[in-house]
Amino acid sequence: MIRTGFTGAGLDRADHLRLDEAALAELAGREGAAMLRLDGHDPLVDDEGALVWDALAALEAEAERIFLGLAEERPLFAPVPRVEIGRPAWGVFPILSLMSAQDAAIWGAARSLIEWHNRHLFCGRCGAPTRVYRAGWGRHCTGCGLDHFPRVDPVVIMLAEHDGHVLVGRQPQYPPGRYSALAGFLEPGESIEEAVARELKEEAGVDVTGVRYVASQPWPFPGQLMIACIGSAASADIVLDTNELQDAIWVDRAGVAAALAGAPDAPFAAPPPFAIARTLLQAWVDARVDGAADGLAPPPGAA
């Protein structure tokens, strides 16, 4: 299995306890129960880059909180602060580079849930206020009684491959020199493979076939599931949609490897280590190095 960023939290989410108020109260009162300390919904870390936790017993009762799960029987919680929704993610990236994979995964789940709560303070059916439900893994409408549950939005992120090169692109908001895999949301009535082909055609004018699945990643900005794929392009011709991309280029394996290594003469700056785009680029390089150009996994559900 390919390990991606924001995975590997290692928590027992204990779903069977989320509706058990007595059990949740016992967990909150247990010695060692801890609350994640946050700046809004951004992480706070110590000098070693580790998440900071406060003893739950020492805190005033939180009006709203999330039961994240059990870390070796230690109950972990997160607050549900009121935050500015849709805030750009770039500012937190330097902090993420200091964090362990486990801490990033724990914070990522909390961050996604906090943003979701702030987007669902009122019922989408009747407009009445909602309250926290299922230990923070839902909201209940105080008017019509409808239950709302967190959702993730599926996003395809992909490389087109042609003649020993892959296509990478950059958006205007990227840091200078950075290129990444192309990406886009799945639309209703679409398969993963169809979405990959459509997005590459729309953004870069590239036709692909033979789409194969590589890995997936939760992305907490605010709550996507990134589905990484590679497709085979019939041509290297590019017709750029400048509303989506500032530039797109084809790069060979040596160039991608140089970018991943941070070489000063690399043709582009690679995505950060916690981004699945980097995992995808590394998987493409490694497939050829291992002598298995077609050795990537088939799409989910494929025979």
For residues 172 and 284, state if they share a domain.
yes
Let me know if residue 10 belongs to a domain: no
Let me know if residue 4 belongs to a domain: no
For residues 191 and 67, state if they share a domain.
no
The amino acid occupying position 262 is G
For residues 157 and 283, state if they share a domain.
yes
pLDDT recorded at residue 287 = 84
How confident is the model over 260-275, as a mean pLDDT? 97
In this prediction, what percent of the chain has a pLDDT beyond 90? 89
In this prediction, what percent of the chain has a pLDDT beyond 70? 94
For residues 194 and 284, state if they share a domain.
yes
Is the pLDDT at 166 greater than 50, yes or no? yes
Let me know if residue 271 belongs to a domain: yes
Let me know if residue 161 belongs to a domain: yes
Last residue of a domain, one of 88, 111, 134: 111
For residues 43 and 169, state if they share a domain.
no
Dump pLDDT digits (tens) for 106-145.
Answer: 999 999 999 999 999 999 999 999 999 999 999 999 999 9
Is the pLDDT at 58 greater than 70, yes or no? yes
For residues 247 and 188, state if they share a domain.
yes
For residues 19 and 80, state if they share a domain.
yes
Q: Token digits for 162?
A: 């042609």
Q: What is the DSSP string of 165-203?
A: EEEEEE-TTSPTTB-B-EEEE--TT--HHHHHHHHHHHH
Let me know if residue 94 belongs to a domain: yes
Q: For residue 223, give its domain range.
A: 153-289
pTM: 0.92
For residues 244 and 188, state if they share a domain.
yes
For residues 157 and 46, state if they share a domain.
no
**Domain count of the chain?**
2
Last residue of a domain, one of 83, 111, 139: 111
Q: At what angle do helices 276-289 and 253-261 cross, to 10 degrees?
A: 130
Average per-residue pLDDT for the chain: 93
How confident is the model over 166-186, as a mean pLDDT? 97
For residues 87 and 209, state if they share a domain.
no
CATH number assigned to the domain comprising residue 205:
3.90.79.10
For residues 106 and 174, state if they share a domain.
no
Let me know if residue 121 belongs to a domain: no
CB-CB contact of 147 with 163 (8 Å): no
Is the pLDDT at 292 greater than 50, yes or no? no
pLDDT recorded at residue 248 = 98
For residues 167 and 276, state if they share a domain.
yes
CB-CB contact of 129 with 122 (8 Å): yes
